[in-house]
């Protein structure tokens, strides 16, 4: 009995020494023309590994980076696509299919034309829009083995509406490979969590009010919710927009079917999903679709919730909240 008691007294300090090594780390910086904030509990700082993943992502999916995979695809340079590109392209096709083309990564020429992409194609007129629409359409491009095939060489891809969410997933996978069980990863407003925060509580994430602010400096919360082992993304036309010479506001969400900025009643769409890539893409799709098309689609998507802020027929600000989300969301 004495030996057993001695063994226990020796074992406890050893276990305590092992478990006490973990602490919360905080990494932040600028990436993809936006900012990232990552909190995670680990034995050591993983900032070098995180930056390495960011560099791999840039080499694959950054259209501004010369010789990246997507840069070469867009410029018809023969290139073998990597796993990052393949995963985003495949998921983009799936979401394009069940949104009936309202989410479409081939609308890059239109996004560029309206001044929200990686190129500036010049003055906008109806003739130019019509001509560009002729080689826009997700059915006109496909993945064949490790190569992209296009029906028209002028077709270009813009994955900005899904890639940032995927980058969040990439970093979260890295954290989990390193044994991290508690983390919050946020890139440009797209966020994914697991476990608990440093206070031992579920991560609480805010949703901004859709206040017009092209500077990105105005921030006021509309609501907040506990995000537990899920991802959240918000899309809105209140940050990325400009006013034309006619005084009309043009926002970054382009309708791939008309070629023009979407003029729907949704001011912001927040989507909660198991992964951030899906949440990011759906938030953009919902902005293009509007409330009447979005609501029935939500009923067909398992494990997906949405919080929509929109203007009703009388011009008043209204909200739509998924039934499951109503139980946990906290209105401000």
DSSP per residue, 274-307: SSHHHHHHHHHHHHHH-HHHHHHHHTTSTT-EEE
Interval 102-146: pLDDT, tens = 999 988 777 777 666 555 555 677 777 777 878 889 999 999 999
Helix (H, G, I), strand (E, B) or coil at 126: helix
pLDDT band of 253, cuts 50, 70, 90: confident
Average confidence (pLDDT) over 42-61: 96
At residue 51, does pLDDT exceed 90?
A: yes
Name the band, by pLDDT with cuts 50, 70 and 90, for residue 255.
confident
Closest CA to 37 of 141, 154, 171: 171
Query: How far is 312 from 295, CA to CA, in rounded Å?
Result: 14
What's the pTM value of the predicted model, to 2 decimals?
A: 0.84
* pLDDT bracket for residue 2 (50, 70, 90): very low
Residue ranges of alpha helices (H) inside 157-268 are 160-177
User: Tokens standing for 224?
Assistant: 């907040």
| Distance spanning both ends of the chain, measured CA to CA | 60
C-alpha distance from residue 300 to each of 94, 155, 220, 293, 296 (Å): 14, 31, 32, 12, 7
CB atoms within 10 A of CB 94: 13
Question: Both tokens of residue 51?
Answer: 């930056």
* For range 37-65, the mean pLDDT: 95
Categorize the per-residue pLDDT at 294 as very low, low, confident or very high, splitting at 50, 70 and 90: very high
Q: Does 69 score more than 80 pLDDT?
A: yes
**Under 8 Å between Cβ of 223 and 307:** yes
More confident residue, 137 or 244: 137
Cα–Cα distance between 306 and 294 in angstroms, integer? 9
Q: Are 321 and 307 in contact (CB under 8 A)?
A: yes
By percentage, how much of the chain surpasses pLDDT 70?
81
Distance of CA 256 to the CA centre of its chain: 19
Judged by DSSP in three states, 321 sits in: strand
Domains and CATH numbers, the chain: 26-331 (3.10.520.10)
Residues 6 or more apart in contact with residue 288 via CB below 8 angstroms? 102, 103, 253, 254, 255, 256, 262, 264
For the chain, give the number of residues: 332
Question: Closest Cα to residue 65, out of 84, 90, 47?
Answer: 84
Contact 30, 58 (CB under 8 A): no
């Amino acid at each position: 009995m004495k030996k057993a008691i001695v063994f226990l007294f020796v074992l406890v300090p050893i276990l305590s020494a092992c478990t006490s090594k973990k602490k919360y780390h905080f990494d932040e910086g600028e990436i993809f023309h936006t900012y990232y904030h990552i909190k995670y509990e680990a034995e050591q700082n993983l900032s070098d590994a995180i930056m390495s993943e960011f560099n791999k992502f840039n080499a694959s999916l950054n259209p501004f980076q010369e010789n990246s995979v997507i840069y070469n695809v867009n410029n018809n340079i023969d290139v073998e696509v990597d796993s990052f590109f393949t995963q985003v392209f495949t998921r983009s096709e799936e979401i394009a299919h069940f949104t009936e083309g309202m989410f479409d990564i081939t609308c890059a020429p239109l996004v560029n034309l309206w001044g929200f992409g990686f190129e500036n194609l010049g003055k906008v007129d109806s003739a130019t829009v019509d001509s560009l629409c002729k080689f826009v359409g997700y059915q006109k491009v496909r993945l064949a083995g490790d190569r992209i095939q296009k029906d028209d060489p002028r077709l270009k891809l813009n994955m900005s509406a899904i890639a940032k969410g995927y980058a969040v997933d990439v970093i979260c996978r890295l954290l989990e490979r390193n044994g991290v069980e508690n983390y919050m990863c946020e890139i440009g407003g797209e966020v994914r969590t697991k476990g608990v925060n440093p206070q031992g509580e579920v991560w609480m994430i805010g949703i901004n009010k859709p206040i017009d602010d092209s500077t990105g400096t105005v921030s006021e919360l509309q609501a907040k919710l506990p995000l537990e082992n899920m991802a959240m993304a918000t899309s809105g036309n209140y940050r990325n927009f400009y006013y034309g010479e006619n005084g009309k506001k043009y926002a970054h969400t382009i309708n791939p079917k008309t070629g023009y900025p979407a003029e729907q009643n949704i001011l912001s769409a927040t989507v909660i999903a198991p992964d951030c890539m899906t949440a990011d893409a759906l938030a953009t799709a919902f902005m293009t679709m509007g409330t009447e098309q979005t609501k029935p689609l939500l009923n067909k998507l398992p494990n997906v919730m949405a919080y929509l802020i929109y203007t009703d027929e009388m011009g008043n600000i209204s909200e739509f909240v998924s039934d499951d989300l109503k139980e946990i969301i906290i209105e401000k």
